Homo-oligomer: A and B are copies of this chain.
Amino acid sequence: MTDTLTPPETAQSETARSLLEEIREAVGAGDVERAQACAHRMLEVDALALLEDLAPAELSRLFAILGDETLAVLLSRLDDRDAARILTRMSAAQAADILEEIDPDDATDIFAEVEQANPTAAGTILVEMEPDEAAEIRDLMAYEGDTAGGIMTPAFVAVFPDLRADETVRALRQVAEEAETINYVYVVDRDERLIGVLSLHNLVLSRPDRPVADLMTTDIVSVPVDADQEFAARLLTERNLLALPVVDADGRLIGIITQDDVADILEEEATEDIERLGGSQPLDTPYRTASVALLVRRRLGWLMFLFVAGFLTASVLEAFPPSAVLIPFIPLIIGTGGNVGSQTVTTLVRAMAVGEVQLRDVGWVLLKELSVGLAMGLAMAVVAFFRAGIPEGREIGLVVAATIVCVTLWSATVAAVLPLLLRRLNIDPAVVSAPLITTLVDATGLLIYLSIAGAILTEV
């Protein structure tokens, strides 16, 4: 069947409901064909989460009907945590069979979630797995989750340089099932050090009797096992590679990172940046499954810090009580400072994240932001002059207008310089959230307002 997919959305929940009914019936009746049709349908409408609604006994029977390969496909489409939850509701033997069918890097990620939630169950599953595949998972668990080691798979194909093209194709035929990609064949020396790479299509299109040493390119891009996952993902993308080899400190090939992981990593990093920019610590887990307690833990720290930092505004207003005529414009002025800061900091932090702006760019970045800030500040000042001046008189209009320009420039400066300064101090610039800039600019914005008022107004 050819499915030309368009985005779902409408009436999805009813579909999901009736699909769940159908799965239950198929499982109850032991109807293989219908169960398979349901599995296919679940993939199609992206309703894998339905598996979570099945009771353990139903899951067990579904497993018996569909077999481990099909279930592995279904589970690997789910979020790691959801997949882990379903696995722990099966018998250890069934869970082990399914994990064996999933690519080792993905299986490790799911296994890590099982271990976190239920270490005993995880131990039992590992015992039930084939020794080789359990060892792969154990090895991969040793690497930090956000490094090249944490996302690589050991399922690559490597040959010695004296193997002939046709022998290599024959060898491939035997391992094709196991390997995650056979787009590249890697060439290693007797010490397992990476010395060349060869694409499948070069191999297929070349004369059968040539040794791979003649066909391989030695111009290889690889990453060390402890490189940051985001760096590896960007490298893979920028170089248009289908896979990137990972080497240990001695240059030995220990894994590859494949294209299918790149999108996930970049999405994950973008999500982290967005959450940080909004003023939370990254959740590191899907919002859907994040508990209230976790959300509070991730948000309260920054919120409380900003709250206490906000006391400064109260202190400024207590120390220098503004005249009544100035009060109505306080929220407008500090709000505008915050909005300008938010625009600047989000654009800039993102540009830094994708590598467009670096430390040495601070000069032109500041100049650009100040020019933009000046233009926007002047435009708003004109409006402010009339809004404040008409009810309160020309002098107040002037004070508010001048304050808007100054606060806009000040806010643009803080938002432009702070992320670059943090990068300089080796702190992730994404910790400079929009709320942080807003809070920083609030108290200083008030001081600017009160100083300008003091200078312009004849009687305060």
Contact = CB atoms under 8 A, between A and B. Distances in A.
Interface of A: 1-7, 9, 12-13, 46, 76-77, 169, 172-173, 176, 182-183, 194-195, 200-201, 204-205, 218-224, 227-228, 231, 233, 235-240, 242, 247, 251, 259-260, 262-264, 266-267, 270-271, 273-275, 277-280, 283, 286-288, 292, 295-296, 299-300, 302-304, 306-308, 310-311, 313-315, 317-318, 321-322, 324, 327-332, 334-336, 338-340, 342-351, 354-361, 368, 371-372, 375-376, 379-380, 383-384, 387-388, 391, 433-435, 438-439, 442-443, 446
Contacts of A446: 331
B287 A310 contact: no
A329 B446 CA distance: 13
A200 B204 CA distance: 10
Contacts of A336: 303, 306-307, 310
A378 to B, nearest CB: 10
A260 B240 contact: yes
Nearest to A305: B339
* CB-based closest 10 A-B pairs: A278-B346, A270-B270, A313-B331, A287-B351, A317-B328, A237-B263, A339-B435, A314-B328, A310-B332, A259-B259
B331 A310 contact: yes
- How many copies of the chain does the oligomer comprise? 2
A239 B237 CA distance: 18
B314 A368 contact: no
A242 B181 CA distance: 10
Contacts of A434: 278, 342, 434-435
A438 B332 CA distance: 11
Main secondary structure of the interface of A (DSSP, over half): helix
B279 A339 contact: yes
A315 B344 CA distance: 28
Contact of A307 (B330, B372, B383): B383
A380 B317 contact: no
Contacts of A349: 274
Nearest to A237: B263
Contacts of A376: 296, 299-300, 303
Nearest to A280: B343
B13 A383 contact: no
A299 B343 contact: yes
Contacts of A324: 321
Given A278-B434, A324-B321, A368-B292, A358 B310 contact: no
A236 B264 CA distance: 11
A384 to B, nearest CB: 8
B330 A195 contact: no
- By CB atoms of chain B within 10 A, which of A194, A238, A287 has the most? A287
A42 to B, nearest CB: 13
A303 B439 contact: no
Contacts of A435: 338-339, 342-343, 434
A77 B339 contact: no
A329 B308 CA distance: 12
Contacts of A303: 336, 339-340, 343, 376, 380
A342 B437 CA distance: 12
Given A314-B387, A328-B318, A439 B335 contact: yes
A4 B222 contact: yes
Contacts of A321: 324, 327
Contacts of A438: 335, 338-339, 438
Contact of A201 (B176, B223, B343, B368): B176
A135 B8 CA distance: 35
Nearest to A351: B287
